[in-house]
Structure 1
Amino acid sequence: MMMERIHREHSYMVRLLAVLQKKIAQMHTELPINYTLVKEIVDYMANHSERVHHPKEDILYHYYTEHYGHKQEMEDLEQEHELLSDKTHAFLNTVEMILQDAVVPRHIFVEQLDEFIKVQKRHLEFEERSILPLIEQSFNLHDWQEVEKRWNVGEDDPVFGDTIAEEYQQIAQRVRQGERESV
């Protein structure tokens, strides 16, 4: 079901944000970090969100508005997705500059990484606490069938799916390590 996939994708993003949060802790203690891993995570969050995750959510939001009336929060989300994309790509550019040996002061990078994490978490929490419960309470079986019909994109997740994309090997390995560590 579409809602289950959205919740699962949110949990994946939260896990990746936790990895990034650890990078901030490392930087505060003057430990080096793997900028390539940071780039992979941010790149994954940008690309997967833009191609799969946000379009799926937008189907729900549009359907809700069409059938259950105007809610400003729903209409604001599409614009928020665009703003989130812009901020994510701006931060991704900073990481890519560092990987190309540009000098970015450590404190500036930490501030940008911290802001990136906060913006992402705020967005996820807003959807999980306000928007998705409203949709779940409102939709009936017919509604779910209709939104599923509108979704026709393949969903093999390049990090958490069965086939790991070459460009995301480090993330997948790090996520699997984290899963073993937490057992």
Structure 2
Amino acid sequence: MMIDRIRREHGYMIRLLAILENKVANLKQGQSINYSLIKEIVDYLGDHSERVHHPKEDLLYHYYLAHYGEQQEIENLELEHQELSIKTHAFLDVVEMILKDAVVPRDLFLNQLEDFLSAQRKHLQLEERKVLPLICQQFTVEDWQTVESQYSASEDDPVFGETIAEQYIQLAQRVRIADDEVS
């Protein structure tokens, strides 16, 4: 069901944000970090969100507004998705500059990384704590069937799916290491 896929994807995002939070701790302790891994995470979060995740959510939100009336938090989500995309691409540009040997002060990068993490977490919390419970409370079986029938994009996740995309091999390996550390 679509809601299960959305929540599973949120779980993937939370796992990736935890890796980035670990990078923040490393930076604060003066340790070096793997910027190419950060690039893969931010690239994945931007690309997968824009191509697969947010269109799925936007479909839900539009359907909700059309059938259940105005709800301010839901009305703002499509705009928030757009703003999150802009922030993600701006931060990705900074990471790519570093990978091309541009000098970016550590404090500046750390602040941008923390801002990126904060925006991502805030958005996920809004959806998980307020928006999705509201939709689940209102939607009928018929509503779910209708939105499911309107969504037809490919669901093969390039990091967490069965086939790992070449540009995310390092990231997929890091995710598996993190999973093993938690187990």
* Range class of TM-score, shorter chain: over 0.9
Length, aligned pairs only: 183
**1:89 Cα offset (Å):** 0.3
- Who is 2:176 aligned against? 176
Paired residues for 1:146-165 under 5 Å:
146-165=146-165
Per-residue Cα deviation, 1:57-116 (whole angstroms, up to 9, x for no partner): 000000000110111111100000000000000000000000000000000000000010
- Who is 2:10 aligned against? 10
Distance 1:82 1:72 in 2: 16
Structure 1 spans left out of the alignment, 5+ residues:
none
Residue 154 of structure 1 aligns to a residue whose secondary structure is coil
Give RMSD over aligned pairs: 0.5
Percent sequence identity over aligned pairs: 61
- Who is 1:125 aligned against? 125
Letter matched to residue 50 of structure 1: E
> Does structure 1 residue 134 correspond to structure 2 residue 134?
yes
Runs of 4+ in structure 1 displaced over 4 angstroms?
none
> Does structure 1 residue 62 correspond to structure 2 residue 73?
no
Per-residue Cα deviation, 1:113-144 (whole angstroms, up to 9, x for no partner): 00100000000000000000000000000000
**1:149 Cα offset (Å):** 0.6
Residue 160 of structure 1 aligns to a residue whose secondary structure is coil
> Does structure 1 residue 35 correspond to structure 2 residue 35?
yes
**1:155 Cα offset (Å):** 0.5
Distance 1:95 1:171 in 2: 15
> Does structure 1 residue 103 correspond to structure 2 residue 103?
yes
- Who is 2:112 aligned against? 112
Structure 2 spans left out of the alignment, 5+ residues:
none
Distance 1:116 1:64 in 2: 28
Paired residues for 1:65-76 under 5 Å:
65-76=65-76
> Does structure 1 residue 91 correspond to structure 2 residue 70?
no
TM-score by length of 2: 0.99
Letter matched to residue 69 of structure 2: G
